[in-house]
Copies of this chain bind each other. A is one copy, B any other.
Amino acid sequence: MRKPKTKLNLLRQRIHIIIYGSDTRAGRLFDLILLGLILLSVFCVMLETVKGFDVKYHHELIVLEWIITLFFTLEYLLRIITTNKPRRYIFSFFGIIDLIAILPMYLSFFLMGSKVFSVIRALRLLRLFKILNHPKFTGQSQHLLRALDASRRKITIFLYFILISTILIGSLMYVVEGEENGFTSIPTSIYWTIVTLTTVGYGDISPATPLGQFIASMVMILGYGIIAVPTGIVTAEFAKTSANKTEPEKNKCGNCGSENHYTNAHFCYHCGYPFTTN
**Closest B residue by C-beta to A54:** B185
A13: B residues at CB distance < 8 A: none
A57 at interface, CB cutoff 8 A: no
The minimal Cβ–Cβ distance linking A255 to chain B, given in whole angstroms, is 11
A191 at interface, CB cutoff 8 A: yes
Given A116-B175, A221-B198: A123 and B154 interface contact (C-beta under 8 Å): no
A21 at interface, CB cutoff 8 A: no
Cross-chain contact B232 with A147 (CB below 8 angstroms): yes
A231 at interface, CB cutoff 8 A: yes
A263 at interface, CB cutoff 8 A: yes
A46 at interface, CB cutoff 8 A: yes
Cross-chain contact B42 with A119 (CB below 8 angstroms): no
Given A187-B46, A228-B230: A217 and B194 interface contact (C-beta under 8 Å): yes
Give the distance in Å from the alpha carbon of A60 to the alpha carbon of B53 in the complex: 46
Interface size class of A (residues with CB under 8 A): 35 or more
A237: B residues at CB distance < 8 A: 232, 242
A261: B residues at CB distance < 8 A: 269
Q: How many of these chains are in the complex?
A: 4
A158 at interface, CB cutoff 8 A: yes
Cross-chain contact B271 with A269 (CB below 8 angstroms): no
Cross-chain contact B167 with A122 (CB below 8 angstroms): yes
A191: B residues at CB distance < 8 A: 213-214, 216-217
20 residue pairs bridging A and B, Cβ less than 8 Å apart: A46-B185, A46-B186, A115-B174, A125-B168, A144-B154, A187-B210, A190-B217, A197-B224, A200-B200, A203-B203, A227-B227, A231-B232, A232-B235, A235-B239, A236-B242, A258-B263, A258-B264, A266-B271, A267-B271, A268-B269
Give 20 A-B pairs besides A129-B161, A144-B233, A265-B270 with Cβ atoms closer than 8 angstroms: A50-B187, A51-B184, A116-B175, A123-B168, A132-B157, A140-B157, A191-B217, A194-B217, A198-B199, A202-B203, A203-B203, A233-B238, A236-B239, A258-B263, A260-B264, A267-B267, A267-B269, A267-B270, A268-B269, A269-B269
